């Protein structure tokens, strides 16, 4: 018989806690007044990654809408289908149905990390005619204890958000450390953070990670076109945007807007955050995209150099790294990638990891 994870939510103004299996997930909302949490769906999304690994029943000691219960179950069933050895379907129960959501809620919630994908999404949406909301989650790229560097990020992105007419809102949570870890959890972390604001917003959007075609390279990835569609509930609808745009194409657009370039922060090296080191694998491949798309490396990197040694960072002898590069570079950049400086490594790119090979 499957174990049960009982969830209890408590709220104190703009702070909330979720107690589950003797652990506590903390939430703090900054930038708007958090209404009374009449739907505890957000906790379901943040506990789901852990429940999927054991097939535990999620039992919420509070109100949850039927749409969230159905969507969360469907999400877990899909990953069980894809990776039956790792994940199990999860049943979601609640003490009662959430009351109907209040009418007239806002539809202008944008998930915004300061990275390339979400910066590109905001640029494509353009300046908002009315003040909109950009939500950055502390507890994803930046840990909840990384207050100093996260505050630097907030300052860095402020002019860009002001330019596009957004208020800055932050949800600070340790959910990733407690129950929402793992590759399968990426989109669930966003949905949980958006859902805690469902008293204010009925709809929001986030940037899709890869194109439809790229999804098939490293399937299954946490953000993908199949499960991204499940985030339509009675509580909140979170829609993926820019679903067929490659990272190279995103670079090309962001490069045309100095205010976006000055804001952008994607380097995983927290010692230089919110700046971009220019030396790690992610910075190096993004440098390559800037070179291909614009002919130059912009001064958004601490180290703007690029030479033969720079490519050593890419560890192309690791076929998973090569696969990852392929997934993010396409079109014009991919052709340069193939025929130019990395030509000698071509044979490595066909040695896909074992689990990517078809077993007929």
Among 283, 288, 300, 329, binds Zn ion (CB under 5 A): 283
Nearer to Zn ion, 253 or 277 (CB): 277
**Sole window of 83-91, 127-135, 207-215, 283-291 interacting with Zn ion (rule: CB under 5 A):** 283-291
Build a one-symbol-per-residue string for 9-48: x at contacts with Zn ion by CB under 5 A, - elsewhere. Answer: ----------------------------------------
Rg (CA), the chain: 21
Beta carbon of residue 286, minimum distance to Zn ion (angstroms, whole number): 8
Per-residue mark of binding to Zn ion, 203-242 (x: CB under 5 A): ----------------------------------------
What does the alpha-carbon distance between residue 185 and residue 224 come to, in Å, rounded to a whole number? 11
Q: How far is the CB of 267 from Zn ion (least distance, A)?
A: 3
- Asked if 280 is part of the footprint of Zn ion (rule: CB under 5 A), the reply reads yes
Distance CA 72, CA 231 (A): 9
314 binds Zn ion (CB under 5 A): no
Cβ-based burial of 334 (10 A; exposed 0-12, middle 13-18, buried ≥19): middle
* CA atoms of 49 and 47, how far apart (whole Å): 6
When asked if residue 302 is in the footprint of Zn ion (CB under 5 A), the reply is no
Q: Name residue 75's beta-bridge partners.
A: none
CA angle 7, 11, 13 (to 5 degrees): 160
| Binding-site string for Zn ion from residue 244 to residue 263, where x marks contact by CB under 5 A and - marks none | --------------------
277 is a site residue for Zn ion (CB under 5 A): yes
**Which of 56, 267, 292, 300 contacts Zn ion by CB under 5 A?**
267
Decide whether 216 or 277 has the Cβ nearer to Zn ion: 277
Q: Where are the beta strands (DSSP E) in the chain?
A: 4-12, 15-20, 23-30, 57-64, 92-97, 109-111, 132-138, 166-173, 203-207, 237-241
- Bridge pairing between strands 15-20 and 4-12: antiparallel
Q: How far is the CB of 277 from Zn ion (least distance, A)?
A: 3
With respect to Zn ion, which residue has the nearer C-beta, 271 or 344?
271
Shortest Å, Cβ 304 to Zn ion: 12
Nearer to Zn ion, 280 or 348 (CB): 280
C-beta of 149 vs 211, nearer to Zn ion? 149
Residue with token string 């002898």: 317
Pick 191 or 267: Cβ nearer Zn ion: 267
Supply the minimum distance, in Å, between the C-beta of residue 302 and Zn ion: 8
The sign of the CA dihedral 240, 70, 179, 52 is: negative
- Min separation Cβ 256 and Zn ion, Å: 22
What whole-number distance in Å separates Cα of residue 177 and Cα of residue 25?
Answer: 9
User: Cα separations (Å) of 131 from 32, 74, 107, 181?
Assistant: 13, 35, 11, 33
From the CB of 215, what's the least distance to Zn ion, in Å?
25
- How many of the chain's residues bind Zn ion (CB under 5 A)? 5
Q: Does 288 interact with Zn ion (rule: CB under 5 A)?
A: no
Round to whole Å and give the CA distance between 21 and 179. Answer: 10
Tokens of 30: 């900054």
- Quickly tell me which residue has 């877990």 as its tokens: 76
Q: Which residues bind Zn ion (CB under 5 A)?
A: 267, 269, 277, 280, 283
């Amino acid at each position: 018989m499957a174990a049960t994870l009982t969830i209890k939510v408590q709220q104190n103004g703009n702070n909330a806690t979720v107690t589950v299996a003797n652990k506590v997930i903390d939430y703090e909302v900054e930038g708007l007044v958090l209404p009374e949490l009449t739907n505890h769906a957000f906790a379901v999304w943040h506990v789901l990654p852990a429940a999927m690994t054991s097939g535990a029943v999620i039992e919420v000691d509070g109100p949850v809408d039927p749409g969230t219960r159905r969507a969360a179950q469907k999400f877990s069933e899909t990953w069980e289908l894809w990776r039956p050895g790792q994940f199990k379907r999860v049943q979601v129960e609640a003490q009662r149905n959430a009351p109907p959501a209040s009418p007239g809620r806002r539809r202008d919630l944008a998930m915004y990390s300061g990275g390339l994908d979400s910066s590109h999404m905001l640029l494509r949406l353009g300046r908002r005619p009315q003040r909109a909301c950009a939500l950055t989650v502390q507890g994803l790229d930046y840990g909840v204890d990384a207050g100093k560097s996260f505050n630097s990020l907030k300052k860095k992105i402020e002019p860009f958000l002001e330019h596009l007419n957004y208020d800055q809102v932050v949800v600070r949570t340790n959910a990733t450390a407690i129950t929402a870890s793992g590759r399968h959890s990426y989109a669930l972390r966003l949905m949980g953070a958006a859902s805690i604001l469902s008293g204010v917003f009925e709809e929001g959007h986030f940037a899709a990670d890869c194109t439809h075609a790229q999804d098939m390279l490293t399937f299954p990835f946490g953000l993908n076109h199949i499960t991204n569609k499940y985030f339509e509930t009675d509580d909140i609808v979170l829609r993926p945007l820019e679903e067929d745009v490659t990272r190279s194409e995103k670079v090309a657009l962001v490069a045309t807007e100095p205010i976006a370039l000055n804001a952008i922060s994607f380097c995983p090296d927290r010692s230089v955050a919110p700046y971009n080191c220019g030396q790690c694998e992610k910075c190096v491949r993004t440098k390559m995209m800037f070179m291909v798309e614009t002919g130059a490396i912009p001064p958004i990197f601490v180290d703007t150099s690029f030479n033969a040694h720079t490519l050593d960072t890419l560890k192309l002898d690791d076929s998973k790294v090569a696969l990852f590069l392929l997934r993010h570079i396409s079109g014009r950049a991919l052709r340069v990638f193939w025929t130019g400086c990395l030509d000698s490594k071509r044979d490595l790119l066909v040695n896909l990891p074992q689990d990517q090979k078809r077993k007929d």
